[in-house]
Structure 1
Amino acid sequence: MKQALSAAVIALALVAAGAQARAADKPIQITWWHSMAGKNGETLDHLVSEFNHSQSKYHVDAVYKGNYSQSLTSAMAAFRAHKQPDLLQVFEVGTATMMAATNAIVPVYKLMAQHDVGFKPDAFIPSVKGYYTDSNGHMLSMPFNSSTPVLYYNRDEFKQAGLKRPPKTWSELGDDAKKLRDAGVKCGFTTAWQSWIQIENFAAWQNQPLATEDDGFKGMGARLLINKKPFVEHIGRMASWTRNNLFQYGGREDSPMPLFYSGNCAMLFQSSGSFGSIQNNAKFDVGVAPMPYDKRVVDQPQNSIIGGASLWVLQGQPKSHYQGVAEFLNFLAQPKQQAEWSRNTGYVPVTETAYQLLKKQGFYNRKPGAEVAIKELTLHPPTANSKGLRLGNYNQIRNIINAQLEAVWSGQKSARQALDSAVKRGNAELEKFQNANS
């Protein structure tokens, strides 16, 4: 009896030891919620697979959670339920919201200080890194998919109109649009993402303040300045061009793309991240050029600011996860991975070494249009007006700006009336955010 009992005890001990060994062998699961669909999602999944196969201690599970707004809303609900992911991809205008959630995030600079993985924050391109740093230059989240606006143009229609190069200034753009219309083109140009391109990047490219407090970097007391003369004149000029179809509004976000694909509009302001999609869909020779600058405001352009998103580390996970998160972020920041991401998606490489690697590989010789964005971002060292935005509730403010611009394009409001209204209503959102987080 005693022998049988001893044998049973030994057997149970061996089973328990085996279970413990299997548990020890099982990789630590790290969850990443993102908003990359289609081809971009496939490239993201491939990078994750590369990391998972490069080591056996951690396994990253990349989960698509819808668009940026949906993903952020889901993460907030998950955090309240203590079911948050380890990593969250957040669009650039959500930066102030994430910064205010101090009890929910682990700043990247602190994570990397605690885990020695060889991470080099200074390797990131200043105009990209600056968007995601605090007032002391500390990196809060890691840049991942970054883009900037560029001007796409139909080379075939330009040739037909006798135009040999894309416009460098807004005055030239207006002249070119008229020549294109005279040559039979239905519309000179259209613009996607009108607030991001025609207000936010217009401000940076012309080195103009978008808001007080260094565009919000100095504190939450920032207030909008987009009803100042340069903005009113710029939007007023675009409005005047709608009357003879030199400019045609095609809707918010990516809605104007068909106007360009169809050949109806000869020029399109759009994200550099759409480079691959435009190349694949357009049935004509596509050119890519820098945004024009307003010679009435500046003698030369400054630098553009980014769109896209960064990766935020969330609190509340077991300590064992954070070494793996640090290693994964460092993996994504390496030149090889950054070059792969940029080549396959159209987003800019976020580090200087990745940019140089792509040049060495001849990528920009094969696709010269892909280099325009990185040249815009690095044209000059960022100033307080071209570092980026740090404004709370900015997604709501963008919606306000979009609605007011639509009132201008439809002739319901003047540029002055619309931008005054956008400032008044936008400042109310900033004040609401400030009161909620003070």
Structure 2
Amino acid sequence: MTCKILSFSASALVLTTSIAFAQTEIQWWHAMGGTNGERVDKIAADFNASQSDYKVVPTYKGNYTETMTAAVAAFRAKEHPHLVQVFEVGTATLMAAKGAIYPVEKLMADAGEPFDKSDYLPAVISYYQTPDGELLSMPFNSSTPVLWYNADALKAAGVEVPKTWDDMKTAAQALVDSGMDCGFSFGWQSWVMIENYSAWHNMAMGTKENGFAGFDTEFEFNNEAVENRLADIAEMGKNKLFKYGGRRGDSLPMFTNGECGMWMNSSAYYGSIKSQAKFEFGQTMLPLDTAVASAPQNSVIGGATLWALAGHDAEEYKGLAKFLTYLSSAEVQAWWHQETGYVPITTAAYELSKTQGFYDQNPGTDTAIQQLSLNTPTPNSRGLRFGNFVQVRDVINEELEALWAGDKTAKEALDAAVSRGNDLLRKFERTAN
């Protein structure tokens, strides 16, 4: 009797092991830490539970820069994952990595997986298409900067939610006068105050359609409009109307703890603000600089997409294609959007969120979608495709920090950022050609 039981157990173990081995693993490297990392794990786990042929294995590899660097190094060592999450400013770098990527549109076609680009929001996929319209990577966590505001503080200060930069100054002064430590702050300052400020006012950040039309592009954001806006912000900093709080999301606590009444940063901070703020808050569109434009154009996205890396087996890519279909489904995308504040990447997910009453129950949570879809993107507002832009953003950060510290004027900081940035563009151009 004992022998029979042991024999049966061994057989069961062999059977279980065979089933496990039959599953094709898909390695997914990502940059989502904390709560969003748990959400990524849930998406993968739910897909794995939905079928038995494939198993997606998500792995957190650090922040965006660290994840992209790790993927490039792993590709050279031929130990790379099937899928890697790369932030939007890494697009040109991956495009120039010859033989490294498997364009997602081609992957879906080769795998026989149904795929229709018209299902995706134009403002999202246009950033990641070739000049011929081929989609290179799968949109996943796309966001855009918005103006977050402390509704209780604005009410107490007796001012309306700002719509223009003149309104921003008025509201910031009223907030400080009412006892707040600062009027406003922002994070990801290159993205918010140069990249999106330029697109919002339909101004080019660089030549060659912001790099989309060729690597031989040059920066031109050291123009009078950007200079005047940044100079005015620096002046406001002298009276606490503005307070700089760091390069990425470091200044979030300044908003959620009630130190600053307004904050410009990604719509994807919705989940964090909702869990941390002890006051009524809202989000609205970026302020318009009426000295530059009479109406806004559209904002551009941030966040990241998922890139398939070349060099794996066809069966593995078939599983990857099925996972990308699952990831883009209306139900998954609506859940991800509502949990995080990232933009739903498909029209169906947006419509489902409407039907579910999410925007009625959470006013303002469709602000990012409205900003991105405000007008048909122009060559100035489609997005950016600059090589070495991760390093260029570091340069912009350094120069703007010198401005906020009072060590440089806005003109000096911008001229230096453009000069140093162009050097990095030329370096990239030499390696890409």
Q: 1:274 Cα shift?
A: 0.4
Task: Work out whether residues 44 and 341 of structure 1, in 8 Å CA contact, stay in contact via their aligned partners in 2.
Answer: no
Q: 1:302 Cα shift?
A: 0.8
- The match for 1:4 is none
Q: 1:412 Cα shift?
A: 0.8
State how far apart, in whole Å, the 2-side matches of 1:186 and 1:318 are.
57
- The match for 1:29 is 25
Residue 324 of structure 2 aligns to a residue whose secondary structure is helix
Q: What code does the residue aligned with 1:375 have? A: Q
Residue 308 of structure 1 aligns to a residue whose secondary structure is strand
- The match for 1:408 is 403
- Cα distance per residue 1:386-426 (max 9 Å; x no partner): 11100000010001001111111111111011100000000
Matched, 1:42 2:42: no
Matches within 5 A, 1:302-313: 302-313=297-308
- The match for 1:54 is 50
What count of residue pairs does the alignment treat as equivalent? Answer: 420
- The match for 1:134 is 130
Matched, 1:246 2:241: yes
Matched, 1:430 2:425: yes
Higher Cα Rg, which structure: 1
Matches within 5 A, 1:163-312: 163=159, 165-312=160-307
- The match for 1:345 is 340
- The match for 2:142 is 146
Two-structure CA RMSD over aligned residues (Å): 1.5
Q: Which moved more, 1:175-184 or 1:308-317?
A: 175-184
Q: 1:293 Cα shift?
A: 1.0
- The match for 1:5 is none
State how far apart, in whole Å, the 2-side matches of 1:25 and 1:97 are.
36
Cα pair distance change 1:69/1:25, threshold 3 Å = closer
- Cα distance per residue 1:70-96 (max 9 Å; x no partner): 111111121111111000100111000
Q: 1:194 Cα shift?
A: 0.8
- Cα distance per residue 1:193-224 (max 9 Å; x no partner): 11110111101111110110000000101110
State how far apart, in whole Å, the 1-side matches of 2:351 and 2:110 are.
30
Q: 1:25 Cα shift?
A: 6.6
Query: TM (normalized to structure 1)?
Result: 0.93
State how far apart, in whole Å, the 2-side matches of 1:315 and 1:332 are.
20
Residue 365 of structure 2 aligns to a residue whose secondary structure is helix
- Cα distance per residue 1:232-273 (max 9 Å; x no partner): 111111111111111111121111112212212111111100
State how far apart, in whole Å, the 2-side matches of 1:82 and 1:249 are.
42
- The match for 1:321 is 316
Task: Work out whether residues 84 and 307 of structure 2, in 8 Å CA contact, stay in contact via their aligned partners in 1.
Answer: yes
Matched, 1:85 2:81: yes
Q: 1:183 Cα shift?
A: 2.1
Residue 69 of structure 1 aligns to a residue whose secondary structure is helix
- Cα distance per residue 1:42-70 (max 9 Å; x no partner): 11111111111211111111111111111
- The match for 2:66 is 70
- Cα distance per residue 1:313-334 (max 9 Å; x no partner): 0111112111111111111111
Q: 1:290 Cα shift?
A: 0.8
State how far apart, in whole Å, the 2-side matches of 1:141 and 1:102 are.
15
Matched, 1:124 2:136: no
Task: Work out whether residues 109 and 115 of structure 2, in 8 Å CA contact, stay in contact via their aligned partners in 1.
Answer: no
Q: Which moved more, 1:287-296 or 1:416-425?
A: 287-296
- The match for 1:390 is 385
Task: Work out whether residues 304 and 376 of structure 1, in 8 Å CA contact, stay in contact via their aligned partners in 2.
Answer: yes
State how far apart, in whole Å, the 2-side matches of 1:122 and 1:229 are.
38
Cα pair distance change 1:291/1:24, threshold 3 Å = closer
Q: What code does the residue aligned with 1:367 have? A: N
Task: Work out whether residues 210 and 226 of structure 1, in 8 Å CA contact, stay in contact via their aligned partners in 2.
Answer: yes
- Cα distance per residue 1:161-201 (max 9 Å; x no partner): 111x3111111111111122222222111111111101111
State how far apart, in whole Å, the 1-side matches of 2:318 and 2:117 are.
17
Residue 368 of structure 1 aligns to a residue whose secondary structure is coil
Q: Could you list the runs of 5+ residues in structure 2 that have no partner in the other structure?
A: 1-10
State how far apart, in whole Å, the 2-side matches of 1:366 and 1:59 are.
36
Residue 131 of structure 1 aligns to a residue whose secondary structure is helix
- Cα distance per residue 1:135-154 (max 9 Å; x no partner): 11110001000111011111
Q: What code does the residue aligned with 1:357 have? A: L
State how far apart, in whole Å, the 1-side matches of 2:423 and 2:181 are.
40
Q: Could you list the runs of 5+ residues in structure 1 that have no partner in the other structure?
A: 1-14
State how far apart, in whole Å, the 1-side matches of 2:228 and 2:132 are.
35
Q: What code does the residue aligned with 2:37 have? A: G
Q: Which moved more, 1:396-405 or 1:240-249?
A: 240-249
Matched, 1:156 2:152: yes
Q: 1:102 Cα shift?
A: 2.4
State how far apart, in whole Å, the 2-side matches of 1:408 and 1:353 are.
44
- The match for 1:3 is none
Match of residue 100, structure 1, among 96, 102, 117 = 96
Q: What code does the residue aligned with 2:101 have? A: I
Cα pair distance change 1:25/1:244, threshold 3 Å = closer
